[in-house]
Structure formats: structure tokens, C-alpha cells
Amino acid sequence: MALVSLIAEVVAGLLTGSLALLADSGHLLTDVLGLTMALAAIRFARRPATPGKTYGFYRAEILAALVNSVLLLAVAGWILFEAYQRLSRPTEINAWPMLLVALGALVMTLIGARLLHQGAQTSLNMRGAFLEVVGDLLGAVGTVIAALVILTTGWVLADPLVSAVIGVLILPRAWSLLRSVVDVLLEATPRHLDMQAIESAMGAVPGVDSVHDLHVWTITSGFDAMSGHVRANGRPSEDVLHDVRRMLSDRFGIEHMTLQVESVDHADDGACCITDPRCFVPTGVPTPAKWEHWRTGQEA
């Protein structure tokens, strides 16, 4: 559907001299490429994990969204440049074919936006495709308005002006998508999660003395991961770990987590941190007294 509209707008834009139609066709081209990459990424992400890619191929979706956002920015830049050129050198425009093609594109774009709206709520990749279709919708509306203005007043500058508005409207949405993608690639804390709230909630779990080395990041849309160290103050590590994991799942929706539980005196169940010298004691030297004896013997 988008491909048919793309071809129609390119042909009509060349025949009528309308920049708005050509601009909208350029945006439609990013839609066709974006939707193709989105579907390919979703299919690719279903492949199982391998020893070399332990998280699987979930990030294929994020890479597709990155390409989509860059394409959107490039199209917006091209539209603004061409609009500036047309404002300096106005051209003759045949408004009737321009209006008919723009109306057809408007109908097709409304159908596409309706189909993608649901998936855009949960997937960055589908959100990128949806934003592109919304941009097309604005482009089609703007082109219809420009055609009507030219038909009724003969003012041909309406075409590049509307095109410039379309380009400006695309920019913030493209930038928002790009920023979200970069956050995922930089493993930033997901925006819907508050690190201070998470740390406070973990500290309030019975048996938790403190929390440190806490990290939360996004693997792909809807898949958050977490790692951290929890110091227990006397409760068995298994009980503390169970309660913390359940709280994080119920309250924050975090399902994938790697937590290390340490006891305050390291006498719990062998849990230790990397700075505890007992971690380097040879097997068969389990107590602090024997550790001291072994250390002084080595120095001698």
C-alpha cells in the first residue's frame, strides 16, 4: 500500500512540479524501508541465543530503529533544503493532479497509522515505523492544503512553505526516536524506572542491610535487565534473594536480574565480594584464623 502511494506521488510530483508531493514521497520511501527493516528485525530477534551472543538477537530491533531515525533526519533535511530553494525560485504547479494524489495518499496513510498504533505502544522499532506514518499523514494533509490554496488563490509559494512545515514537524519526532535508541545502546537506565526508588525498595526488604553496584538497562523494547549486590544482615541469603526478586518483579516489572547476596560478616553461606581476602584463600583454608596463619607463613 505504501509502495503504491510512493510511486504515485513520485510520478505526480514530477509531472505537477509539486515539492510537497516529492517530499511526501521521500518520506514514504523511508516508510517502505523502515517497515521492511522492522519486520526483518522482529523475525531476526526470534532466533535463539548462541554462545557468542548470549542475549540472542534482540538488539536487531534497536539497530533497525536507529537506521529509521537517521533516515527520518536525512529526509527532513532534504525537504528543508528543497523548500528553501523553491522559495528563492518559485515554479509552476499543476494543482488538480496534486490534490487528487494527495487525497489518495491521505486515505492510505490513515489506514497505515491505524494498523501500527497498537504495536507502537510496546516496541521502539514499531514506534519508529508509526512515527514515520504519522509524518506521512501530516505530509498528506499539508499537501492537500497547499493544493487547495494554489487552486483558489494561485499562490504557488504555498507548496514549498507547507513542505518546510512538514520537514520541521518531522525533526523532533526523529530526534526523540534517535535519543531513545542511543539510550538503549549506551545501556542507560530506562526512563520509566527510578534508580533511587529501586534502591530504596530493595533496602526496605527484610534482611537487607545495603545495596551497591546496582545497574539497570534495556536489552530491547519491553525487556529490562538488572544486576547488583545486596548485603544481608543476618537472614539466609536464599530468603533475602527470593524476597528481593519477587519485589522487583511485582513492583517494577523487572524479570531478568542477576543479584549477588553478601552477608555482613561473610559467615552466611560462603557468599563473598571480590575484595574479601577469603576469596583468594586456597581450598581447605576456610576460617579467618587459618587465613591469617597462611598469610604470615607466606610472608616468612
> Could you report the per-residue pLDDT of 214-239, keeping only the tens digit for each?
999 998 877 899 999 999 988 888 99
User: Domain spanning 195-269: which CATH class is it, in words?
Assistant: alpha beta
Separation of alpha carbons 252 and 197, rounded Å: 10
Domain boundaries, the chain: 2-185, 195-269
**pLDDT (0 to 100) of residue 226:** 94
pLDDT at 46 over 70: yes
- Which residues lie below 8 Å from residue 95, measured CB to CB, with a gap of 6+? 16, 147, 148, 150, 151
Q: Give pLDDT, residue 280.
A: 43
What is the model's pLDDT at position 275? 42
Instruction: Please state, as a whole number, how many other Cβ atoms lie within 10 Å of the Cβ of residue 19.
Output: 26
Rounded mean pLDDT, 78-103: 86
- CA–CA gap between residue 6 and residue 28 (Å, rounded): 6
Q: Under a CB-based contact definition with an 8 Å cutoff, are residues 101 and 149 in contact?
A: no
Q: What percent of the chain has pLDDT over 70?
A: 80
- Structurally, at CATH architecture level, domain 2-185 sits in Up-down Bundle (1.20)
DSSP string, 91-148: ----HHHHHHHHHHHHHHHHHHHHHHTTGGGT-HHHHHHHHHHHHHHHHHHHHHHHHH
Banded pLDDT at 2 (limits 50, 70, 90): low
Residue with the bigger pLDDT between 254 and 294: it is 254
User: In terms of pLDDT, which residue wins out, 164 or 32?
Assistant: 164
Q: What's the confidence (pLDDT) of residue 252?
A: 94
φ, ψ of residue 131 in degrees (nearest 5):
-65, -35
Give me the numbers of helices (H) and strands (E) for the chain, helices first please.
Answer: 9, 3
18 pLDDT tier (thresholds 50, 70, 90): confident
**Average pLDDT over all residues of the chain:** 79
Chain segment 178-215, per-residue pLDDT in tens: 998 999 999 999 999 999 999 999 999 999 999 999 99
Q: Tens digit of pLDDT for each residue in 254-290?
A: 989 999 998 766 544 444 444 444 444 444 444 444 4
Q: Which residue has the cell 517502505?
A: 32
Per-residue pLDDT for 40 more than 80? no
pLDDT at residue 148, rounded to an integer: 92
Measure the CA–CA gap between 170 and 243, rounded to whole angstroms.
46
DSSP letter assigned to residue 200:
H
pTM for the whole structure: 0.68
3-class SS of residue 257: strand
**What pLDDT does residue 254 have?**
93
